[in-house]
Amino acid sequence: MPSAQDTAPDRAVDDGRPPSRLRQLAAASVGNAVEWYDWYAYSFLAAYFADQIFPKSSGNSLVPLLSSFAVFAVGFFMRPVGGLVMGAVADRRGRRSALTLTILLMGGGSLLVALTPTYASAGVLAPVVLVIARLVQGLSVGGEFAASTTFLVESAGPGRRGLFSSFQYVSTSIGQLLASGIAALLAGQLSDRQMGQWGWRVAFLVGAVLSLLGLWIRRGAQETRSAERQAERPGLFEALRRHPRQSLLICGITVGGTIAYYTWTTYLPTYAQVNAGFDKGDSLTIGTLSLAFFAVLQPLGGLLSDRIGRKPLLLGFSLGFAVLAVPLLHLVSDAWISLLLVQCAGMVLLTGYTAIAAAVNAEVFPARVRAAGIGFPYSLTVAVFGGTAPYVGTWFAQAGNAGLFPWYVAVLCLVSFAVYLALPETARQPLER
């Protein structure tokens, strides 16, 4: 952990002038929301375009869906590369430069998804194009978390790192909310056939346009890396080489949070469809309502952590999911209210992690390698456990063992609980700039 002697005054800097806190929040949050809209639109619409891109197996109707989720997971495995490379850009060239580059990549990937040909028209080229698009987006998202996490926390005023940290997932939730809402709107206005033929492409075209808006807003952001730090040029693997303990700590902090997060915010609608016969359109509507509830909770969690510390929230989150993941997921049925209550209950528990994840991660590493130090181990853990959650859950269902997936979630949350017990409290320690 950085010492108090190494810290500079608690303010962001750009040519010597303190920036507007609101403007910094907007620059990080709006761009981040657009990034995550593009990323999550894929998951929400996979059930509609899977048959168009992947050939159907005569023996199993789940094969196209499994294939589309496999591509979803492939995109996640580019995230560690993005976290390392874009994190290094943020540490060497500044947080703002990295944020500009990540949103350009995401917009390009979204446009490529929208233009992906069908298997019927292009054969094997169709899934190849989709994989390339997801690799580009994975690179972008991996770098986005590294850069925006450091940018948000370094922009915070005294005693407000938890609050600023919460906007990482406020904006992520808004992006998901837009993706879920637009998917639900399209599903409600178009037939299943129209959605499968062309409706799903509309959402990705919208994402490409929104990326231009995010780029314009981010160009007005002020750099948070001090002038002395900007003169430094840390090596690509310096964080891993010089801070191996902190790198492992990020993995332990993240593993329970990422499996719970992607299960509850991304996979749960599909879980309800596959295991309880839930209607596609209704599950997307419920996902939209619960995401709005989740976004409102985040600043409250951030403020609470600034008052009582990070550890109580982390311990409450991890123990809550370790105990309740199995009974909650077993409560999912084809009743509308059951899915809504299960999803909202999980969102309350999840806030103990998501509201403060950015602050906790940023407080682990010194400023010199903060972005790359967070980006690689965080993104690697998310790729291994978060990105594969939809695939693992669907695979369990295909194998006739759907009941094992809730236990999988509970065990990983228990692992993080053990890490949180040993974690030092950092809420009131000064942050190195």
pLDDT digits (tens, 9 = 90+) for 209-243: 998 888 888 877 777 765 555 556 676 778 788 88
Q: Which of 172, 154, 153 is nearest to 162 (CA)?
A: 153
Coil, strand or helix: which one is 138? helix
pLDDT at 232: 62
For residue 217, the surrounding DSSP H or E stretch is: helix 200-218
- Write down the residue that tokens 């637009």 correspond to: 182
Backbone conformation region of residue 295, classed left if phi is above 0, alpha if psi is from -120 to 50, else beta: alpha
194 vs 181: CA distance, rounded Å: 18
Cβ proximity of 322 and 413 under 8 Å: yes
Residue 366 has which token pair? 């010194």
CA distances from 327 to 156, 324, 405, 407 (A): 39, 5, 12, 10
Q: How many beta carbons lie within 10 A of that of residue 296, not counting itself?
A: 13
Residue 383 has which token pair? 């790729």
- Write down the residue that tokens 């178009």 correspond to: 190
- Write down the residue that tokens 């964080």 correspond to: 239
Query: Degrees (nearest 5) of the Cα angle 18, 32, 428?
Result: 50
Q: How many beta carbons lie within 10 A of that of residue 198, not counting itself?
A: 12
Distance between start and end Cα atoms, the chain: 13
Amino acid sitting at position 357:
A
342 vs 348: CA distance, rounded Å: 10
238 vs 269: CA distance, rounded Å: 41
Cβ proximity of 135 and 229 under 8 Å: no
350 vs 258: CA distance, rounded Å: 10
Q: What is the set of domains in the chain, with CATH numbers?
A: 24-222+245-422 (1.20.1250.20)
Cβ proximity of 260 and 353 under 8 Å: yes
Residue 243 has which token pair? 């801070």
Say what the pTM is: 0.79
- Write down the residue that tokens 């991660």 correspond to: 361
172 vs 32: CA distance, rounded Å: 6
pLDDT at 416: 96
Weakly modelled stretches of the chain, pLDDT under 50: 1-16, 58-59
Cβ proximity of 382 and 149 under 8 Å: no
CA distances from 361 to 14, 112, 308 (A): 23, 32, 18
pLDDT digits (tens, 9 = 90+) for 74-129: 777 788 888 888 888 888 888 888 888 998 998 999 999 999 888 888 887 888 88
Distance of CA 207 to the CA centre of its chain: 16
58 vs 67: CA distance, rounded Å: 15
- Write down the residue that tokens 């600043």 correspond to: 299
CA distances from 1 to 42, 64, 166, 205 (A): 38, 47, 22, 44
